[in-house]
Structure 1
Amino acid sequence: MTQGIKTYKGYEIHPLVYPRRTSSGVTHRNSLDSGYDASVRICRVGAKSIDDGRVFRLAHFRPFEGAGKARMACMEHATNVIDGHVDGQSVADL
């Protein structure tokens, strides 16, 4: 599945959504522990390398029920980071 790249205030936002690992460390899509975890990569528009950005993990106590919900949460978290509303997370030096 291709994940869309969005731009916001001169930054590219790349949602990173992946199946949650169970307590045994194995990834299952249909277990009781199933769901999705998410992170988001933020870099300047036109960055020459993917290493020019930074990855921020979304602190979420429970797995997201679906990949779409996880992607929406990535977008919201990224805009909050870019706007400076998340303590300890900044893109000011990118």
Structure 2
Amino acid sequence: MVKTYKGYEIHPLVYPRRTASGVTNRNSIDGGYDASVRICRVGASAADEGRVFRIAQFRPFEGAGKARMACMEHAAQVIDGQVDGQSVSDL
């Protein structure tokens, strides 16, 4: 699922959270999901992969859908310059 926002493509990256033992389990209550988002310019070449921004989350997301929604919200905030230390200005 790729969305665009203000001339950027937003690619949500959702993956099962690793437990303390290093095992991933989609069905585990302790597992859940972590997320990052890849942002690149619309129409960028394949060589320009953009930049990946991890979503800092103390607790895992309960479901993949919630993680994807958080990706979209975080990407919009990064693109709008509202996240300290994260910028797309040089893409």
Q: TM-score, normalised by structure 2?
A: 0.95
Is residue 18 of structure 2 the alignment partner of residue 32 of structure 1? Answer: no
Unpaired runs of at least 5, structure 2 = none
> Aligned residue pairs: how many?
91
Alignment of 1:15-94 (within 5 A): 15-49=12-46, 51-94=48-91
| Residues 9-52 of structure 1, C-alpha deviations (whole Å, 9 max, x = no match) | 00000000001100001101222311000000000000112643
| Moved >2 Å (runs of 4+) | none
Distance 2:55 2:81 in 1: 15
* Structure 1: runs of 5+ lacking an equivalent: none
Percent identity over the alignment?
82
Aligned residue for 1:52, secondary structure, equals: coil
Distance 2:57 2:64 in 1: 14
Q: 1:81 to 1:18 in 2, by over 3 A?
A: same
The residue matched to 2:65 in structure 1 has which SS? helix
